[in-house]
Amino acid sequence: MADPARIPGRRTSCGRISDARKQRFLTALEETASVTAACARIVVSTRAMYEIRKRDPEFRKAWAAAIELGIDALEDEAVRRAREGVDEPVFHRGSKCGNIRRYSDTLLMFILKAARPEKYKDRAANEISGGLSVNVVSFADAVESGGIVDAAAQLPAPAVSATDPEGA
């Protein structure tokens, strides 16, 4: 019978993944910044790789470093696209007749917000219209005039619980 770990396309158990295969996973993780894509590339389940990461502190560190490198590459690509744009084909009557360079203002804004949040953060202002009258008096004056007692008399009575008739 063939070894299940050697059958092409067969997902293997996490205990049978070689160091070389783990390294290929880390390389794919650097290139894609996606655990799912890296696992698909080396034909292993994400569950198996997460199990290895959980058990192996050195692999966990290498995983984190690979993700960081992958994210750095994504950031570089985002900056390139925001600055240089992306060529898109132009069609006329079903035939390609040229290209047009498109730039993404949205992508540029995300980059600026991430790089300088204090300058480019979203600012929301809430405005309340209508009137509000506030009469400020000292606590002693309120008690003396009976205002505190009057306000307390208007509050609803506390609910009595069936399990605690005393309300404690």
**pLDDT tens by residue, 77-124:** 988 998 999 999 999 999 999 999 998 888 888 888 888 988 888 876
The answer to whether 66 and 30 have CB atoms below 8 angstroms apart is yes
The answer to whether 65 and 58 have CB atoms below 8 angstroms apart is no
What pTM value is reported for the model?
Answer: 0.55
